[in-house]
Amino acid sequence: MTPPKTTHYSVVIVGGGQAGLSLSHGLQQRGIDHLVIEKRTLVHSWRTQRWDSFCLVTPNWQCNLPGWSYTGSDPHGFMVKDEINAWLAGFVEQVQAPALEGVTVEKVSPVAASGEAVRYTVDTSAGRFTADQVVVASGGYHKPVVPRMAEKLPSSIVQYHSAQYRNPAQLPEGGVLVVGCGQSGAQIAEDLHLAGRQVYLATGNAPRCARFYRGKDVVDWLAGMDYYDMPVTQHPLREGVRDNTNHYVTGRDGGRDIDLRRFAAQGMELFGLLTGLEGEVLEFQPNLRENLDHADAIFNGINASIDRFIASRSIDAPPGEPYVPVWEPAQERTRLNLREAGITSVLWCIGFLPDFAWVDAPVFNGRGEPVHLRGVTGQPGLYFLGLPWLHTWGSGRFSGVARDAEYLAAQIAGRIERAAAPHAGGESGQPLANAAVAMSQVI
């Protein structure tokens, strides 16, 4: 876009993904001037950080951005990468956000002038902007996690993070070690397995769930059980749920379970948690059986909760039954020689870390995570949007970000109205800010 003609805005939104654009939609509806600053291009991560066979793991009907719901012919299907990007391109065109692309935000700082409310400076690679309010909508997946162990691998071995993986042909001939079995790790391991590659999978404690159960997609059942409307403040784990690894399942080929045991029966070799490397020998914890049993227990537990829901509502549904393991590890291997196994590449699928070092405000806990209540922090006029479990399960997804964005748009508008009112007393949003501060004492 053409460089802005002004450097001060009522609101600056940092991040031009689905979260930032959803908020822009809400602010435009309220006539609030704002600027979206995006480091790369709008919704770029869906184009640049997904493998070729990537597809949604939640059904299309859950794609519900502001004014831009899925309207295709397959609401219970799962859009693939190109379809997702085409749908998002339509959202970008519909929102027409006032956006500045290719600009990095280097620092956000609150400032206060005599007799004035707190404002913010936003220092960027394109110069300084100021704002009355700032929303951090850059997500929580900033720094790919690659352990120091990677430095010890032989230089002949090709290494990628899951964000860099595209397809099996990208990797050299030979065996592939996939480290991590969350959503990305399990799906990438399957992608390689289906391509006939020899896969060695280092597992962790990631849970799994069924794709379909008792005649419906599990997501449909959970939606009917109001699980996706449960706020984090009512979840049994409270804020601890934000640390949970996502359940592995897939929407590939119309959707199916991912069963690591079945892969093992077909030739994939499974290991426990990767813990070290000595020379050419990888070392693993002897906890493969424990990891598989844990995943299956979550799988069966979710299905059991659906059973109870069906029974309580007297719903006519096909019968269901617990999952029975199709394979058991006869003996757990805790060492693997890279050369003898013919491993030529390693894929690190162990997630990302947030990086908010550029936000210079006292709103973080001891782990560097923002303390907030529904995105409202204890720093007046500073908000977060698009984080996992910001408010509900769908907060970082297409299904729930619209609700979160609308809530913050209302908070922002309310603060503007109170600041403009005669004899306005104090900063707006203070009850929520106080609640956010109170939360920090228990995190």
Q: 3-state SS of 27-87?
A: HHHCCCCEEEEECCCCCCHHHHCCCCCCECCCCHHHCEECCEECCCCCCCCCCEHHHHHHH
pLDDT at 53: 97
Where residue 120 sits, what CATH number does that domain have? 3.50.50.60
Q: Which domain holds residue 410?
A: 8-142+354-440
Q: Report how far residue 81's alpha carbon sits from residue 55's, in angstroms, rounded to the nearest whole number.
A: 6
Same domain, 134 and 178: no
- Comparing CA positions, the residue from 95, 109, 102 lying closest to residue 40 is 102
Residue 1 counted as domain residue: no
pLDDT at 424: 52
Q: Dig out the tokens for 244 from the structure.
A: 């949970």
The residues facing 390 across adjacent strands are none
Give per-residue pLDDT as tens, 149-204: 999 999 999 999 999 999 999 999 999 999 999 999 999 999 999 999 999 999 99
Same domain, 13 and 73: yes
Question: Which segments of the chain have a pLDDT < 70?
Answer: 1-5, 113-117, 422-443
Question: Is the distance from CB of 285 to CB of 294 less than 8 angstroms?
Answer: no
Counting the structural domains of the chain, the total is 2
Same domain, 209 and 318: yes
Contact partners, residue 423, CB within 8 Å, separation at least 6: none
Same domain, 122 and 217: no
pLDDT at 116: 56
Same domain, 102 and 210: no
Q: Is the pTM of this model over 0.85?
A: yes
Same domain, 272 and 149: yes
Same domain, 296 and 415: no
Same domain, 171 and 277: yes
Q: Report how far residue 40's alpha carbon sits from residue 363's, in angstroms, rounded to the nearest whole number.
A: 26
